[in-house]
Structure 1
Amino acid sequence: MEDQGRRDLLELVGPLYRLLRRAEERCANDAGLTMWQYAVLSVGARHEGLSQAQIADRLGYSRNRIIHDLDVLETRRLAERRAGTDRRRHSIHVTATGRDTVDEIRSAIWAAENDLLSPVPAAGRDSLQDILERALEVRP
């Protein structure tokens, strides 16, 4: 065996993930959305014109459940479905109000992340962000 002092990454990342998820849920709820509705809106704002199936796939979310979330987002005029070339496929477009909502929630999430990671120096937080982004680039 190699290093007995080393911990599995999931042992380290799992508790942090749960804390981050609770923070995101709280920030989305404060804006009157569920975490999933925020996630759908966020992906839609970052990748304009994706289909609802593509958004669900990017999030690892149910293609059936996203329908209700999009109904809520449309009712609140945060996003809209637009018919594509295939009548069965709609592209999702986030409205200006939806983009403002994403920005507000994202700012609150980033503040919560900063609070959570406050024991880590700013340079360490930047390194963590860079490491995680790089790790995700190489995944299949």
Structure 2
Amino acid sequence: MTSPERASTSDPDLGALFARILPRLAELEGPILQDVGLSMWEYAIVTELATGQALSQADLSKRTRRDPTRLGRHLDDLEGRSLITREAADDKRQRTVTLTRAGRAAYRTAKKRIRRIEDELLAEALTPAQSASLRRGLARLADVCAPDEA
């Protein structure tokens, strides 16, 4: 059995593992998103909006870690395709962003297809229970890594 100290220095770093996994996910997900008409960044944006709560552009920028100028361009494109709406918030300097019916449909279609190919990828190396555990663990890690909402 490996000691915890030895395991910590001989196991690959998370960054190195993700650097090997993320390009494969992008390769698998890219064509799906293209078919649905979304870029990777746009999918990240609509995923945040799919929670159902209207978000300010500032909150959306924080959650997606996209600078406000670039986010604004994505929002212009999404709005131009009738996938989102932006309305003036109580604070007139802010705009609230929500998904439209078409935006929700595009998100659901992409998510369903992405989940299917992710499940296939996970099945190459993990049991269903291990896959579920990995997803739960990554979700908890993502919560810890989320930008502050303050």
Tell me the TM-score normalised to structure 2 length: 0.83
Q: Are positions 1:131 and 2:137 aligned together?
A: yes
Residue 21 to residue 72, structure 1, CA distance change in 2 (3 Å): same
Pairing partner for 1:79 from 80, 84, 92: 84
Q: Quote the Cα distance in structure 1 between the aligned partners of 2:97 and 2:26.
A: 24
Q: Which amino acid aligns with 2:142?
A: L
Q: Percent identity?
A: 30
Contact 1:44 1:50 in 2 (8 A): yes
Structure 2 portions without partners, runs of 5+: none
Task: Give deviations 1:79-98, integer Å, cap 9, x for gaps.
Answer: 10011112210000111111
Deviations 1:65-113 (A, max 9, x none): 1111111111111110011112210000111111111000111111121
Structure 1 residue runs of 4 or more that deviate by more than 4 Å after TM superposition:
none
Q: Which residue identity does 1:130 align to in structure 2?
A: R
Paired positions, count: 140
> Take 2:145 and 2:64, find their aligned partners in 1: how far apart are those partners?
15
Q: 1:7 aligns with which of 3, 9, 12?
A: 12
* AA in 1 matched with 2:28: A
Q: How far apart are the structure 2 equivalents of 1:23 and 1:55? A: 26
* Deviates further, 43-52 or 105-114: 43-52
**Letter of the 2:105 counterpart:** D
Change (3 A) 1:97 1:35: same
Aligned pair in 2 of structure 1 residues 139, 67: CA closer, same or farther (>3 Å)?
Answer: closer
Q: CA 1:23/1:62 → structure 2, altered by over 3 Å: closer, same or farther? A: farther
SS at match of 1:77: coil
Deviation at 1:58, TM superposition (A): 0.7
SS at match of 1:88: coil
Whichever residue aligns with residue 72 of structure 2, its letter is: I
Select 2:47's aligned residue among 15, 39, 42.
42
Give the SS at the match of 1:92: strand
RMSD: 1.8
SS for the counterpart of 1:64 is helix
1:44-76 residue CA offsets vs partner (Å, 9 max, x unmatched): 121521111211211111210111111111111
Q: 1:139 to 1:68 in 2, by over 3 A?
A: closer
Contact 1:48-1:94 at 8 Å conserved across structures: no
